[in-house]
Amino acid sequence: MNQCAELAGAAEWLKTTRRTGDGSWGKSRGEASSIVSTAEALYVLSLAGADKSVLAVSEKFIREAVQTHPATRGAMTRYQIYGIYALLLLGAASNDPDVVGCATWLKEKAIRIPNTAGSPQFAWSYCYDSEDAKPSPNLFHTVIAVDALSRVCAREDDYVQGGLAWIAKQQRLDNGWGAELNADSTPSHTALAVDLLCRLTPEDNAVRIGNGRQYLNAVQDWTQEKETIGGVWEHCPHALVPIALMESGTQATDPCVTQHLLYFSHHVSKEGGWFEDGAAAVRTVRVSYWAAWLLRTYLDRLNPFAEAERQTKQETASDMITVIPGPWLRTKSAPAFVIVISLVSLVSAILFLLVLPVTTCRWIGIAANLVIFIGAAIVINIEKVRFKRLSQFLKTTYVAFEVIGTLAAIYGLIYSLLQNPSLIHWLLR
């Protein structure tokens, strides 16, 4: 298909189906206006290069809807999520009051899941209306909630990190992900998880991502893979799976990707946009949104400049311990190594205090070793301390200081022991 022409056709069709009163969209012609459909339509229009003035017509509707929809239509998680998406497309900043309001709502509704191994995990439910039923974690809404929050909050935000941790832990023994807790794996939900983990934590979850891609590549007959995501359209795997495959490293020209593009080429409407399967063959905003999302990902992979920029963003996003120079801090044993550094420096400082005579040298040694101990403790908690805000000079200086200080601590420990042989006998008892 002629990708640019199809996208332009979808944009023109969307302009004709827009509500003249408030600039909103329903899922299809004649259906009620929706935050979700309006956000999806704005995304397609922005990809097609629509003027900002065309998008701005919908701003009033979006700002009012994020306030009124939860009370009038139900406390649906997706209203706040797509509210964030729409407002960002309209040019709102992350500190915009309505954006902050949506993010705050999501954080207040997050399901806190205790985690004995570390920080709590977070997940989101489909809806929070029922007072009788306890909200249950839902993968689709957790994925899009984390994605939305990551666009307006710091990457190290507890809810972003906690949501990513919960998503990663939901991988099944067959390497896929399912819609709910203990649900069977499906290609669409696996694709959603793989895509998000690729974009936000590519290195931390490299093994899970690789296994998830194997699961997706193992599907043979896509005509049998009919799923429903968000209550609409049974053939969502044809959009979500190739996006996840390309995000995880599959070439855009690979048959695993192009077979899905071929599917969309068979669902193009001559009047503009894409239509759904079935006898009705109805054109909907949702199908055009997913088709445009897939098209953008595909064209980015064919554009070497866009691909290089994407890879650069992925590398800088992984700004934890791997940005520190030295191969000895890029291994799985790095945390244990740093703990040893901290313990050696602390013991050395104590021995400086107890063994050496009272001199300026002793106090300098104690101070230096305590600084090394604190520095090593920072490295141990590196997930909370981000280094990307520091210049390369400061990063290198920090590491050099740690290395030299560690060597000094070891020297001080050995020197202290040699100055007091009785202490060696006491330690060896």
Length of the chain: 429
pLDDT confidence of residue 318? 36
CA distance 229 to 139: 10
258 with 274: CB under 8 angstroms? no
CA distance 123 to 119: 13
Burial 22-55 (b: 16+ CB within 10 A, else e): ebbbbbbeeeebbbbbbbbbbbbbbbbebeeebb
How far is C-alpha 202 from the chain's CA centre? 9
pLDDT confidence of residue 58? 96
Residue 262's H or E segment, with its range, is: helix 255-265
pLDDT confidence of residue 118? 76
pLDDT confidence of residue 212? 95
DSSP code of 317?
H
pLDDT confidence of residue 320? 31
- pLDDT of the chain, 429 residues: tens digit per residue: 445 789 999 999 999 999 988 999 988 777 889 999 999 999 999 999 999 999 999 999 999 999 999 889 989 999 999 999 999 999 999 999 999 999 999 999 999 998 777 788 999 998 887 665 688 999 999 999 999 999 999 888 999 999 999 999 999 999 999 988 888 899 999 999 999 999 999 989 999 999 999 999 988 666 656 666 655 556 788 899 999 999 999 999 998 899 889 888 888 988 899 888 765 578 889 889 999 999 999 988 887 666 556 555 544 433 333 233 333 333 344 445 555 655 666 666 666 566 555 555 555 666 666 666 666 555 544 433 444 444 455 556 656 666 666 666 666 666 666 666 665 666 566
Q: Are strands 185-186 and 177-178 parallel, antiparallel or unpaired?
A: antiparallel
Q: In this structure, what token pair is assigned to residue 280?
A: 């009705």
Q: Identify which of 121, 124, 112 has the alpha carbon closest to the alpha carbon of residue 77.
A: 124
